[in-house]
């Protein structure tokens, strides 16, 4: 069965549902197909204990509806995963979105029909969509790394992947638990599981920087204050470098006195969470400035950990703060002071195998009942490159991106007309508040669709030249930063064989928005707008 439709959105996370709402408001017939059996994207899958957002709730929420903003009451400064999932489900009901969402519907193939200027999209269950526009809202962290070790199948206990957390309630009481990985997922679940398990062992390959969340309940007064002038808060976020609402001190960290710098870091440490990285404008630009922030964090870590050997292992030294995604934690480091918690350094003595009883490293064997992989994702491109996406003249997206993602504005790819990517590589994406960035892009896209409707434009395609210029611009901006000094998932270093290029756009959400606005104002310069009017193309 083939369904003819104006717009097909792939992915029912925050971005996909927002795209559905935006397109529907324009009167475009729109469907969302979602591989999973629930809405919410990463917030649906990552149901591990301790999962919560590290962007403040007031900012990690939709801005498109002032009524929604006023109605919803966040309970904590940093919302937990269950509360975020409740929110997205509320939004789906509030705006009657579910009737156009097809769950358990995995796209396996999408091919552009040049003559008709439409996308033919095939799903695993045999259903087919024929859409005038295709929006890829598949997430940047939704293809979990399927880490395995030799002998894994022999392990008698339970193995869990943090990004595919099982639906049954896991009771850690009396259990010996292992966590492999110390990125944000590992850092968030460690203190929570430690409180319940008989023993917890964390296997760390790379120590990471982490900043206290300074989480707290949202008081009625704070709720009222934000809601009295929510627009001002949204505008502040839109005009801040990463969409978090923090504007850095415009001075260099090394141009202020040591006392002033220490005071600024201390204030940010106790309040800003992730925004600590924005205490001074050049923390991620200048090595010397970064050294001051990295050193400050190392001293704070040292204060939290009693055992000198563990303290040393938990202290990141090999890369500048922020060049790998830092965590925002709630008691992570102090958890290692508990008698039931161990840290195993697998950078020097790697895991060699799983055994029926547990984990074997080069130096020792550790028995477990439950082993949790918190080893992350094939970031940015993993989910986009899973299905076969075939553009004009049979070009495969996978082939086009074989040396790294190429796009214009992160939104569109030459040879793939009428296909648009939300918060993908080449856009601020994971360097920003992704919810804000997705709304910016979707508002811009719906304006483009309106322009097409008014001007009888059937086909929108990034030009090869614009794409080339954008890739150069993204690289040039990245080279101004310290990000490129460190292998990280920003650089494609998390997966063996992945092209090592800087994936997101580091020019900031405000700078990016200005480029989007300029592009629209110029009549969409950089895009080829094909006026052939074809019936059925919105
Ligand atoms: O994944 P990660 P994550 N054997 O890639 C280790 C977002 N997020 O799921 O660094 C052993 O950061 C790996 O070690 P190394 C956020 O953007 C947000 O924790 O490769 N270890 C690392 O320690 C975050 O950045 C929230 O040496 C292996 C860890 O596993 C992103 O998701 C919450 C290994 C992976 O860390 C990803 O976070 C959670 C192996 N084979 C996540 N492979 C919010 O609060 C990897 N590792 C919003």
Helix (H, G, I), strand (E, B) or coil at 497: coil
Taking the centre of ligand 1 as the mean of its atom positions, its distance from the CA of residue 104, in whole angstroms, is 27
Residue 428 and residue 519 in one domain: yes
Q: Is 27 within a domain?
A: yes
- The token duo for 341 is 């918690």
Could you give the number of structural domains in the chain? 2
Please check whether residue 283 is in contact with residue 253, taking contact to mean a CB–CB distance below 8 angstroms.
Answer: yes
CA–CA distance, 508 with 511 (Å, rounded to integer) = 5
Residues 6+ apart with CB under 8 A from 454: none
Q: Residue 55 CA: which ligand 1 atom is closest?
A: 48
Q: How many residues does the chain have?
A: 538
Domain end point (choices 300, 315, 335):
300
Taking the centre of ligand 1 as the mean of its atom positions, its distance from the CA of residue 372, in whole angstroms, is 12
User: What pLDDT is stored for residue 532 in this prediction?
Assistant: 65
Q: Residue 346 CA: which ligand 1 atom is closest?
A: 11
Taking the centre of ligand 1 as the mean of its atom positions, its distance from the CA of residue 452, in whole angstroms, is 41
Span 169-207, pLDDT tens digits: 899 999 999 999 999 999 999 999 999 999 999 999 999
User: What pLDDT is stored for residue 246 in this prediction?
Assistant: 84
CATH number at residue 415: 3.50.50.60
Residue 521 and residue 389 in one domain: yes
Q: Is 537 within a domain?
A: no
Span 31-74, pLDDT tens digits: 999 999 999 999 999 999 999 998 999 999 999 999 999 999 99
User: What pLDDT is stored for residue 245 in this prediction?
Assistant: 87
The residue contributing the CA closest to ligand 1 atom 1 is: 376
Range of the domain at 267: 240-300
CA–CA distance, 442 with 419 (Å, rounded to integer) = 13
Helix (H, G, I), strand (E, B) or coil at 364: coil
- The token duo for 184 is 């944000």
Taking the centre of ligand 1 as the mean of its atom positions, its distance from the CA of residue 79, in whole angstroms, is 20
Q: Residue 46 CA: which ligand 1 atom is closest?
A: 39
Please check whether residue 62 is in contact with residue 443, taking contact to mean a CB–CB distance below 8 angstroms.
Answer: no
Burial grade of 495 (CB within 10 A; 0-12, 13-18, 19 or more):
middle
Residue 515 and residue 384 in one domain: yes
Residue 423 and residue 526 in one domain: yes
pTM: 0.96
Q: Is 154 within a domain?
A: no
Q: Is 328 within a domain?
A: no
Domain end point (choices 265, 300, 335):
300
Q: Residue 149 CA: which ligand 1 atom is closest?
A: 41
Residues 478-496, mean pLDDT to the nearest whole number: 96
Q: Is 481 within a domain?
A: yes
Taking the centre of ligand 1 as the mean of its atom positions, its distance from the CA of residue 375, in whole angstroms, is 5
Using most ligand atoms within 8 A of CB, pick from 14, 362, 376, 431 the residue to mutate for ligand 1: 376
Q: Ligand 1: which residues within 6 Å by Cβ?
A: 52-54, 141, 147, 180-186, 188, 205-206, 325, 346, 374-377, 430, 489, 494
Residue 7 and residue 124 in one domain: yes
Q: Say how many CA atoms lie within 13 Å of 159 toward its Cβ.
A: 19
Q: Is 309 within a domain?
A: no
Domain end point (choices 280, 300, 320):
300
- The token duo for 280 is 């001074």
Confidence of residue 533 (pLDDT cuts 50, 70, 90): low
Q: Is 361 within a domain?
A: no
Q: Is 318 within a domain?
A: no
């Amino acid at each position: 069965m083939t369904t003819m439709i104006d717009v097909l959105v792939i992915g029912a996370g925050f971005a996909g549902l927002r795209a559905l709402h935006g397109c529907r408001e324009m009167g475009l017939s729109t469907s969302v197909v979602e591989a999973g059996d629930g809405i919410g994207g990463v917030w649906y899958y990552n149901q591990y204990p301790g999962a919560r957002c590290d962007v403040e709730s007031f900012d990690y929420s939709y801005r498109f509806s002032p009524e929604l903003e006023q109605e919803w009451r966040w309970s904590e400064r940093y919302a937990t995963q269950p509360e975020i999932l409740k929110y997205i489900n509320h939004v789906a009901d509030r705006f009657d979105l579910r009737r156009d969402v097809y769950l358990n519907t995995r796209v396996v193939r999408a091919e552009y029909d040049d003559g008709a200027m439409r996308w033919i999209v095939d799903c695993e269950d045999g259903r087919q969509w024929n859409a005038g526009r295709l929006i890829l809202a598949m997430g940047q962290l939704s293809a979990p790394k399927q880490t395995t070790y030799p002998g894994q199948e022999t392990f008698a206990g339970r193995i869990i992947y943090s990004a595919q957390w099982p639906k049954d309630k896991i009771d850690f009481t009396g259990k010996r638990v292992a966590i492999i990985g110390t990125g944000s997922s590992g850092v968030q679940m460690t203190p929570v599981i430690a409180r319940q398990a008989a023993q917890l062992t964390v296997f760390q390959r790379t120590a990471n920087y982490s900043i206290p969340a300074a989480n707290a309940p949202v008081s009625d007064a704070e709720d009222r204050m934000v809601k009295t002038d929510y627009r001002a808060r949204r505008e502040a976020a839109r005009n801040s470098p990463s969409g978090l609402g923090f504007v850095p001190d415009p001075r260099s960290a090394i141009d202020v006195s040591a006392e002033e710098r220490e005071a600024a870091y201390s204030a940010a440490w106790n309040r800003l969470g992730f925004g600590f990285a924005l205490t001074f404008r050049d923390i991620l630009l200048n090595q010397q400035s970064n050294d001051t922030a990295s050193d400050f964090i190392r001293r704070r870590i040292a204060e939290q950990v009693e055992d000198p050997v563990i303290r040393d292992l938990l202290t990141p030294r090999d890369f500048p703060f922020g060049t790998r995604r830092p965590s925002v934690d709630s008691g992570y480091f102090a958890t290692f002071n508990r008698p039931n918690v161990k840290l195993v350094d697998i950078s020097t003595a790697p895991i060699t195998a799983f055994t029926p009883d547990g984990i074997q490293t080069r130096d020792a064997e550790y028995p477990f009942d439950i082993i949790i992989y918190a080893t992350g994702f094939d970031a940015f491109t993993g989910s986009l490159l899973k299905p076969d996406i075939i553009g004009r003249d049979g070009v495969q997206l996978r082939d086009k991106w074989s040396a790294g993602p190429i796009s214009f504005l992160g939104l569109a790819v030459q040879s793939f007309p009428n296909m648009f990517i939300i918060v993908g590589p080449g856009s601020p994406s994971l360097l920003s508040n992704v919810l804000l960035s997705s709304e910016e892009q979707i508002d811009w896209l719906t304006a483009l669709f309106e322009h097409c409707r008014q001007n009888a434009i059937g086909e929108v395609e990034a030009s090869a030249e614009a794409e080339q210029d954008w890739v150069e611009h993204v690289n040039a901006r990245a080279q101004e930063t310290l990000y490129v000094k460190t292998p990280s998932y920003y650089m494609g270093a998390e997966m063996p064989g992945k092209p090592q290029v800087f994936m997101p756009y580091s020019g900031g959400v405000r700078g990016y928005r200005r480029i989007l606005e300029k592009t629209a104002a110029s009549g969409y310069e950089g895009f080829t707008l094909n006026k052939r009017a074809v019936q059925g193309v919105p």
